[in-house]
Structure formats: C-alpha cells, structure tokens
Amino acid sequence: MRLTSPAFRDQGAIPRRHTAASVNELPPLRIADVPGGAQSLAIVVEDVDSPLGEHVTHWVVWNLPPDTDHLDAVTVPMGCCVGTDSFGKTGYTGPMALEGRHHFRFRLFALDTTLDLPAGATRAQLDEAIRGHVVATAELTGYIELSAEGDDSAH
C-alpha cells in the first residue's frame, strides 16, 4: 500500500499553504495498492517531534471506503468519520512548529472492518478500535520549520 502527495515528497518540506500558519488546507493525498481484503481505511496525521513527549494528533479520519484513491481539501468521501484532534477540534489542523523543525507523519491504515466509532472520537479511541484489524499500513512524512522570523514555514 502506498500514500503519496503531489504537494510534497516523502521526507520533504510541506508547503506553507497546508500549515496552520497559512491556509490550513489538507494537502492532496494519493492512495494506491490497498489490499483486496480491506473493508475501510483510516488516516492519522501526527507531529512526531512534539515537545509534549507524545505524538500530537492533527487529523483523524476513518471509515474511508477501501477504493478511495485521493483526498484533498474539498474531496473527502461521504460517510467517513472525522475525529477530534489533540487541540480539541474536529477536522484538519495543519502542521505548526513552536520551535525548530517538526516532522509530520501521515499514517494510512487498511482495516479488515468498518469501525463502530462515532464522529468526533479521539485518537486514543481510534487506536483502540483498530487494534487487531490493521491489514496494511503506509506512511508519508513531511516537515515544517519555525524560521528565525518566528513563523511556520517550509524550507
């Protein structure tokens, strides 16, 4: 299974428009090679360099149809559920850096079931619900960096 974006390459800079300091727009995502037995997909976006000592979640979505091949700011399939991020918000909260460079991991999970989890559920609830149901994963990681001027920007 593969997860890519036409906006940035794996381990590359995430364009500013996809950060909380700018338009806060979900970058376009491309999904390929989902296993035939998958019943649904889930995606988590997390800051892996958070100074909080844990991965801060910026977006949680599940029950995406297994034939989903792309997502972007205006194309999210009907029927999927969006959860609550680490900031208490439902929806996409773009990457932000309080200091230095932060890497953001987009994690795609193919699941052997659809989840009986209400919209607005937390990352911890999603993690519990997918336990034992993950048939494949894919990751895409990008970074942003706090510039000397103090704004979030991709370099």
Q: Is 52 left (phi over 0), alpha (psi -120 to 50) or beta?
A: alpha
Encode pLDDT of 106-128 as tens digits.
999 999 999 999 999 999 999 99
Hey, is 89 helix, strand or coil? coil
Encode pLDDT of 41-82 as tens digits.
999 999 887 766 677 899 999 999 999 999 987 677 888 999
User: For 40-76, what is the HEC assignment?
Assistant: EEEEEEEECCCCCCCCEEEEEEEEECCCCCEECCCCC
Sorted by where each begins, the domain ranges of the chain are 2-148
Query: For the whole model, what pTM was predicted?
Result: 0.90
What is the CATH code for 2-148?
A: 3.90.280.10
